[in-house]
């Protein structure tokens, strides 16, 4: 048996003349939380659908739990759980009916179904609500119920496609505590997310842009490996004007808006004075300039912008 839960090599998916997944290669270790981070349309969902056996690739190779994505998609489906971007629950069924439906779909053993149902009810904090229509549940509760249904057959690998979009921060934290607990018990998890704080909790992250993986490493390594130079955080007046000014300054390698502040990348700290002078010459008041460690968002923006500047090779 391979050490990898997921192996992908030179994966390609085209829809007519559009390439959604462009020569993607990566591996996911068993028991690892592996994150896909990228803008909308980057190819994250298409890649997951291929790995789940829901979509055939145009080219390339891949194995999920040791099964070939080209030849053994039905076997793959038996060993994975999948939670899509939109909740896959049936609103016109009750909580219990949804659980029963997924137990049957995944062919869960009848003697364990009652126990599994109780585990899901506990996870979703739905004691006493078993007969409530799913349509009447809050979004965060639906999310936990959908996760429980995806786990009802004890899959070795769990695919989560932006599972916490639109969910409040407290519920997102609870959801991620469950994810980390599952991983600690050996479940492999591949998750896509737009939230940087969630990406920080992954063991490794693949950054995806225009269908390509442009970086793949741990969150800490991404912060130190891909950005060379000194990062500054600037608190100034008229921040959008300051952004335009610094974009046109030759010593600035990169500048981006980060909340209400500017994050600026320069070659070395001695150039900070020139940054300050350039802003003051444009009558932009400076409240603070501070050297910082690059954030994951800084790395993401930097690499995506760098990738977008490359000439197209297709």
Q: What is the mean pLDDT of residues 59-86?
A: 92
- Of the candidates 207, 304, 213, the residue with the CA atom closest to the CA atom of residue 254: 304
pLDDT over 90, % of the chain: 67
Per-residue pLDDT, averaged over 187-203, amounts to 92
Specify the pLDDT at position 101. Answer: 92
Give yes or no on whether 4-218 and 228-293 have one common fold: no
Task: Indicate if the pLDDT at residue 245 is higher than 70.
Answer: yes
Query: Does domain 228-293 bear CATH number 3.30.70.980?
Result: yes
249 near 278, Cβ under 8 Å?
A: yes
Mean pLDDT of 65-84: 93
Q: Cβ neighbours of residue 99 under 8 Å, at least 6 residues apart?
A: 116, 117, 120, 121, 145, 148, 149, 152
Contact 62, 50 (CB under 8 A): yes
User: In this structure, what DSSP letter does residue 269 have?
Assistant: G
| Contact criterion met (CB below 8 Å) for 95 and 120 | no
Rounded to whole angstroms, how far apart are CA atoms 233 and 256? 10
The first and second tokens of residue 207, run together, are 């950054």
Tell me which DSSP letter residue 294 carries: P
Mean pLDDT of 147-158: 93
How do residues 288-311 score in pLDDT, each as one tens digit? 999 998 888 888 888 887 777 654
The pLDDT tens digits of the residues spanning 160-181 come to 998 888 788 888 898 999 999 9
**Exposed, middle or buried, 74 (CB in 10 Å: 0-12/13-18/19+)?**
exposed
Q: Has residue 313 got a pLDDT over 60?
A: no
Cα(31)–Cα(53) distance, integer angstroms = 21
pLDDT for res 106:
85
Query: Residue 144 pLDDT > 60, yes or no?
Result: yes
Q: What is the pLDDT of residue 314?
A: 31
Tell me the per-residue pLDDT of 207-238, one tens digit each, with 9 for 90 and over: 998 899 999 999 999 988 888 889 999 999 99
pLDDT for the residue 312? 41
Q: In the predicted model, is pLDDT for residue 250 greater than 80?
A: yes
**Domain definitions of the chain by residue range:** 4-218, 228-293
Q: Choose which CATH entry (3.40.50.300, 3.40.50.2300, 1.50.10.20, 3.40.50.20) describes domain 4-218.
A: 3.40.50.300
Q: Which residue has the tokens 């998609």?
A: 73
Mean pLDDT of 240-253: 95
Which pLDDT score is estimated for 262?
Answer: 96
Q: Where are the beta strands (DSSP E) in the chain?
A: 4-15, 18-29, 33-37, 59-64, 67-68, 80-83, 157-161, 188-193, 204-209, 212-217, 230-236, 252-258, 261-266, 286-292
User: Cβ(60)–Cβ(213) under 8 Å?
Assistant: no
For residue 191, is pLDDT > 90? yes
> Where do runs of H (alpha helix) occur along 106-249?
110-123, 139-150, 169-184, 196-199, 219-225, 239-247
Arithmetic mean of pLDDT over the chain: 90
């Amino acid at each position: 048996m391979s050490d990898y839960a997921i192996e992908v090599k030179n994966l390609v998916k085209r829809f007519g003349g559009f390439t959604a997944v462009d020569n993607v290669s990566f591996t996911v270790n068993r028991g690892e939380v592996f994150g896909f981070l990228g803008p909308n349309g980057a190819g994250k969902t298409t890649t997951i659908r291929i790995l789940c056996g829901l979509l055939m690739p145009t080219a390339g190779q891949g194995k999920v739990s040791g099964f070939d994505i080209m030849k053994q998609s039905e076997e793959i489906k038996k060993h994975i759980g999948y939670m899509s971007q939109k909740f896959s629950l049936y609103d016109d069924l009750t909580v219990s009916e949804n659980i029963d439906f997924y137990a049957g779909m995944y062919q869960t053993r009848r003697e364990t179904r009652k126990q599994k149902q109780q585990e899901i009810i506990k996870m979703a904090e739905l004691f006493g609500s078993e007969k409530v229509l799913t349509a009447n549940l809050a979004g965060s509760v639906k999310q936990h119920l959908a996760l429980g249904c995806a786990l009802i057959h004890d899959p070795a690998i769990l695919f989560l496609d932006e599972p916490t979009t639109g969910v409040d921060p407290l519920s997102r934290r609870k959801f991620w505590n469950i994810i980390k607990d599952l991983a600690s018990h050996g479940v492999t998890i591949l998750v896509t997310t737009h939230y940087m704080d969630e990406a920080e909790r992954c063991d490794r992250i693949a950054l995806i842009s225009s269908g390509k993986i442009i970086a793949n490493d741990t969150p800490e390594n991404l912060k130190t490996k891909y950005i060379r130079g000194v990062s500054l955080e600037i608190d100034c007046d008229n921040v959008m004007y300051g952004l335009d000014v610094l974009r046109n300054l030759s010593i600035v390698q990169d500048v981006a808006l980060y909340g209400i502040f500017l994050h600026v990348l320069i070659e070395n700290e001695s150039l900070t004075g020139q940054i300050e002078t350039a802003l003051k010459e444009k009558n932009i008041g400076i409240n603070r300039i501070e050297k910082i460690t690059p954030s994951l968002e800084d790395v993401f923006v930097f690499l995506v912008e760098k990738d977008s500047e490359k000439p197209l090779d297709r």
